């Protein structure tokens, strides 16, 4: 497969049903993420970076189980190993999420909850491809 075919196939993947299933499951995880973030940051008063880490960890756990059963229909027997791989890859998503949120809050004065909401969409593509090609493809 050459580079142009890879790009064409990647773009086509966005329009397949699996991507929309991923977005649905990710939407549920995003609601969990934003709800916990808002509660910790706005109601309890926890610093937004700590709130972001806590909410992301919980939402990633929810996301793993939704994507494993609903989107990718993966039945890999050693799910604890798969969860470990997923968690390591999610660290990249957390770095993207935290960087985009901090950039907006610190340099542009954006409300932390809105900045977190925007960051979820930025990290979406990374999370989708790592789930599709690594976590739920290589570990079948």
pLDDT tens digit string along 69-124?
888 887 777 788 888 999 999 999 999 999 999 999 999 999 999 999 999 988 98
Position 44 confidence tier, pLDDT thresholds 50, 70, 90: very high
Residue 7 vs residue 84, higher pLDDT:
84
Longest dimension (CA), the chain: 52
Per the structure block, which two tokens stand in for 91? 């660290």
Q: Please tell me the distance from the alpha carbon of residue 24 to that of residue 60, in angstroms, as a whole number.
A: 14
Is pLDDT at 15 greater than 60 in this prediction? no
Per the structure block, which two tokens stand in for 85? 């791989």
Per the structure block, which two tokens stand in for 118? 């925007």
Q: Please tell me the distance from the alpha carbon of residue 88 to that of residue 93, in angstroms, as a whole number.
A: 9
Instruction: Identify which of 86, 61, 80, 77 has the alpha carbon closest to the alpha carbon of residue 136.
Output: 86
Q: Give SS3 for 1.
A: coil
Q: Which DSSP state fits 69?
A: I
pLDDT digits (tens, 9 = 90+) for 48-76: 999 999 999 999 999 999 988 888 887 77
Is pLDDT at 31 greater than 90 in this prediction? yes
- pLDDT at residue number 1: 62
Radius of gyration of the chain (CA): 16
The residues, ordered by sequence, that sit 6+ positions from 87 with a Cβ below 8 Å of its Cβ are 60, 64
């Amino acid at each position: 497969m050459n580079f142009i075919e890879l790009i064409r196939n990647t773009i086509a993947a966005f329009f397949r049903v699996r991507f929309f299933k991923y977005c649905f499951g990710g939407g549920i995880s995003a609601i969990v993420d934003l709800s916990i973030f808002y509660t910790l940051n706005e109601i309890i008063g926890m610093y937004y970076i700590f709130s972001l880490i806590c909410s992301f960890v919980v939402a990633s756990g929810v996301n793993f189980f939704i994507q494993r059963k609903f989107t990718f229909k993966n039945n890999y027997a050693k799910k604890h190993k798969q969860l470990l791989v997923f968690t390591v890859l999610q660290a990249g998503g957390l770095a993207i999420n935290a960087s985009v949120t901090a950039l907006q809050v610190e340099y542009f004065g954006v409300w932390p909850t809105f900045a977190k909401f925007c960051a979820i969409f930025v990290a979406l593509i990374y999370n989708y491809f790592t789930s599709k090609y690594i976590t739920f493809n290589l570990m079948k």
